[in-house]
Structure 1
Amino acid sequence: MSEPVQRFLGSGETLARLHDRARTLRRLQEVLARSLPGPLGEACSVANLKGDSVILIARSGSVASRLRHMAPSLTAALAAEGFAVTRVEVKVGVTVAPQEQAPRPSRTVGAAGRESLEKLIAQLPEGDALRASLQRLVDRSRPE
């Protein structure tokens, strides 16, 4: 982090506690990543540290099951790094991939419809909201 941000984060008591908490969680994540085999370490993350419990989020149920079986070795690895953790909680975090939106269908107006709209637009007074809306409709639509 840059020096001005560090100064800002350390300036207030609340921000200093938040900064310390974030640093602790980041250190926990680093220890977790070193303690687990490659793919398993990438499939989970530290969610929180509450008292003597660390809460992990797994990407799937199978990863969560494996982490639960490895809980004793994880607590030992975390204790070796100076964390007073005696319990590992594992939760499955479901991620939902964003759905791609279908492109909007292009609007087409037939020649007769366009002609009728233009006649109606000509009859409406200048500055009328309906006239402006109809003109936008004609301008944005493609002829058939």
Structure 2
Amino acid sequence: MEILKAYLPQHLFQEVPAPAGSPPEVVAAAARAEAKRKARVHMLAVLCGIVTAALASPAITNYTNLFTDKSHFPQPLSTILIILALGLFSSGGSGLWNSVLEYLLKVKGIKDAEEKLAASKAEKLKAETDKAEAEKAQAEAAKARAETKPG
């Protein structure tokens, strides 16, 4: 993307800072211009991602068969949708993938916590069952002693 930016007009991608001590309307205009610049950079990143995915489409088409057999999309449309999705995902950069990784780690943490909770419940139930069985055995032993006592 940086190579492509070098061939495009520089004013499209230059930061637009507000001069120090500027009035609020100048700061607001600079903020709007900066937002537009960021949008242009993101659109360029998406375009580069889609072009890269399109260039890799011969490799991608092998995997689109997995989706077209079970989906309602014809093969060409499925390939186009996958290329667009891969282009969007790749343009997200490391921030997107870090967010995905963080989400997956949280899901794993939830599953681990659920497993620990289930294990502790099972241990508690086993302890209660063992205690009940021990009390039953003591009661039976006491009853047997009482029956064998002369008297």
Q: TM-score, normalised by structure 2?
A: 0.28
Structure in which a larger fraction of residues adopt strand = 1
Q: TM-score, normalised by structure 1?
A: 0.29
| Larger Cα-atom Rg | 2
Structure in which a larger fraction of residues adopt helix = 2
